[in-house]
Amino acid sequence: MKPYHTWKQEFMQDRCCSERDFVKELLVASIPHVLLNLLLIFYILLGTVILRHVDEAIGKEEFPSALLFTFTTITTIGYGNIHPTTNRGKLCCLFYCVIGIPLVILVLSNNGQFVVDAYLIIKKSFGNERTVSKGLPLWLSFVLLFLHFGVGGLIFSTWMGQMRFFDAVYCSFISVSTIGYGDLIPVPDTWTHALAIISFLSTGVIILSTLFQAFGCYVQYLHYIGRRFTGTKDVEIWFGGRVLTVQELITLVAEEFGVCPQRLRALLRDLDNILEAACHDTVTYLTILI
């Protein structure tokens, strides 16, 4: 239960709430994420119904197959075994993807952040709090991804029985990486199969997003290595439920306390000098004692 208590304490600190208001704040914080996922589910179902109605070829498919087609379309996997054949169907698919692709990226990337948060909570609970990173390590992202391919191999070869294990692992990789050659395609025979495939592919894309995030951290480090940090006033931070620049935050704090921003900046500089001097005196005192 240690990770739970760690997460709970961090949540209450972030939301500035007491134990009494914990459940209420948790519900309030969960609503946007739940609504986002429900919106995506509704959008996929709505798209399946519309595309089956406007295109004869898609309309001839069973609903589970059409549902998988809709999902693989907005995730850009696109196996190619099902596709719109009429001008009306192609036009509808075009407009559907313009909204659907950003929506699915937004929702799955947001869900991927929960994977990162879970890792950080576990590491903070059982490791050194000061060494906690801000993202999932690159090696762990690779491990999760390859484990996911293995699970896909078992699902497609053993449970669904549609292909050999190696081909199933290959199909998992081609699908999750959104390459989608179409040479090996999981075909849902039932609603259960369709939901299992969609859940599997969604989880894979979520893990892949954490891998890209880990790579992004390394790229950012390499890009700025050896450079002096400038443009502090334009750095964006999350404060009070919205994004502010450091300059805007200082102005906001100054207005709150009834002082001009220039005086507040001077005060912060003086405070920085005081802390630096105090640290220097402490180190000097300890050196004398030793």
pLDDT tens, position by position, 250-276: 777 777 777 776 676 676 666 656 656
Residue 3 has pLDDT above 90, yes or no: no
- Count the alpha carbons within 13 Å of 138 in the hemisphere toward its beta carbon: 7
Confidence of residue 172 (pLDDT cuts 50, 70, 90): very high
Confidence of residue 283 (pLDDT cuts 50, 70, 90): very low
- Tens of pLDDT, residues 176-191: 998 888 889 998 989 9
- Tens of pLDDT, residues 149-161: 999 999 999 888 8
CA–CA distance from 17 to each of 6, 13, 26, 29 (Å)? 15, 7, 10, 12
Place of tokens 């939301």: 15
> Is the pTM higher than 0.85?
no
Other residues' Cβ atoms within 10 Å of the Cβ of residue 46: 13
Confidence of residue 214 (pLDDT cuts 50, 70, 90): confident
Other residues' Cβ atoms within 10 Å of the Cβ of residue 251: 15
Q: Which long-range contacts (CB under 8 A, 24 or more apart) does 205-208 make?
A: 205/75, 205/108, 205/176, 205/178, 206/108, 206/109, 206/111, 206/112, 206/115, 207/112, 207/115, 207/141, 207/144, 207/145, 207/148, 207/176, 208/145, 208/176, 208/177
